[in-house]
């Protein structure tokens, strides 16, 4: 379906309002705003927010940036909380306490710390049980809210407060977890990887599919962090673009097990174009550290090829 995003933005009020306390140049607020715009105007949403940047900066009692029902839940259990709400609404309809025509959608938001790591067990459980809900990970690649500590979403060699690049170690030594594929392995009907501010069309379409596909859905959306990544606030769009053009963050979706790559760069940029603008990778460009960039490139190449192979295999 073709979308005129200007018309959508003009016609649909924002359900994630201005005036929040997120940092300038943060990738997360545009992600939340566009995902909620994919809701139909008459549909109500119940949103669970795991403790993290998004929650502490948008829901400071008695103020809120969320126009729909919002539940602040603990770091580790956004998915469990949202699945419980979804089950409660079903029960109330079954017992006649809610009319059948009440249309409510259930969406959980969590950062990568509360999704890849501490919240993985509740997320896995909710997906396996088949709750009709969407889980959104705004992936900024570390525990940004508590001091920029490494998470399993942190890329290899990144400098964080718990993996400082120095004479002993060159930043984080482990590869980044591929959470999207882990969720695909739960055999859910819809999972997708997207990006925020410079490709709203991709994010809007995937959010609409996720919200209106019956059963559990998962969206993993890159949300760069200027403090943790070390880029200028005005460079958010550039960082997002480079993540896609280097294939560090491929845009794809998996519909009932079928992989679909939504964007293939005509000419892939080398990974150093993505790494160079970020202070967390500055040590990789010191003389003698060329091997780090080469190793990073090999990992990106391997994951991109794996994705191409999966698309080919699952679409035969």
Neighbours of 314 (CB within 10 A): 15
In degrees, to the nearest 5, what angle opens at C-alpha 204 toward C-alphas 199 and 208?
Answer: 155
SS3 118: coil
Predicted local confidence at residue 1, as pLDDT: 55
CA distances from 166 to 28, 158, 271, 288 (A): 30, 11, 22, 13
Predicted local confidence at residue 3, as pLDDT: 64
Predicted local confidence at residue 4, as pLDDT: 76
Neighbours of 294 (CB within 10 A): 11
Predicted local confidence at residue 2, as pLDDT: 61
Predicted local confidence at residue 8, as pLDDT: 75
Predicted local confidence at residue 5, as pLDDT: 75
Predicted local confidence at residue 7, as pLDDT: 77
Residue 14 sits at φ, ψ, to 5 deg, of -75, 130
pLDDT in tens, 198-231: 888 999 999 999 999 999 999 999 999 999 999 9
Reading the block at residue 173, the tokens are: 């030594």
Would you say domain 5-314 falls under CATH 3.40.50.970? yes
Residues of the chain short of pLDDT 50, as ranges, are: none
Neighbours of 67 (CB within 10 A): 14
pTM of the model: 0.96
């Amino acid at each position: 379906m073709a979308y005129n995003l200007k018309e959508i933005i003009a016609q649909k009020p924002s359900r994630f309002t201005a005036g929040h306390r997120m940092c300038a140049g943060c990738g997360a607020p545009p992600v939340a705003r566009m995902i909620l715009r994919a809701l139909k105007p008459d549909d109500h949403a119940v949103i669970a927010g795991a403790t993290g940047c998004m929650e502490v900066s948008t829901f400071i009692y008695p103020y809120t940036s969320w126009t729909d029902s919002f539940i602040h839940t603990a770091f580790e259990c956004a998915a469990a909380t949202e699945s419980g709400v979804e089950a409660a609404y079903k029960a109330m309809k079954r017992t006649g306490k809610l009319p059948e025509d009440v249309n409510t959608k259930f969406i959980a938001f969590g950062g990568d710390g509360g999704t890849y790591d501490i919240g993985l067990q509740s997320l896995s459980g909710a997906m396996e049980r088949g709750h009709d809900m969407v889980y959104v990970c705004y992936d900024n690649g570390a525990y940004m809210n508590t001091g920029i500590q490494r998470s399993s979403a942190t890329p290899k060699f990144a400098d964080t407060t718990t993996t400082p690049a120095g004479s002993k170690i060159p930043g984080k030594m482990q590869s980044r977890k591929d959470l999207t594929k882990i969720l695909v392995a739960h055999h859910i009907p819809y999972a997708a990887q997207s990006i925020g501010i410079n490709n709203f069309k991709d994010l809007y379409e995937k959010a609409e599919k996720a919200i209106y596909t019956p059963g559990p859905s998962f969206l993993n959306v890159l949300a760069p962090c200027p403090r943790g990544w070390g880029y200028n606030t005005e460079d958010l769009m550039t960082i997002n673009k480079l993540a896609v053009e280097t294939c560090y963050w491929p845009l794809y979706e998996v519909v009932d097990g079928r992989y679909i790559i939504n964007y293939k760069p005509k000419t892939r940029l080398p990974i150093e174009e993505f790494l160079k603008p970020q202070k967390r990778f500055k040590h990789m460009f010191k003389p003698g550290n060329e091997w780090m960039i080469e190793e990073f490139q090999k990992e990106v190449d391997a994951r991109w090829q794996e994705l191409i192979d999966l698309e080919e295999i699952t679409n035969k």
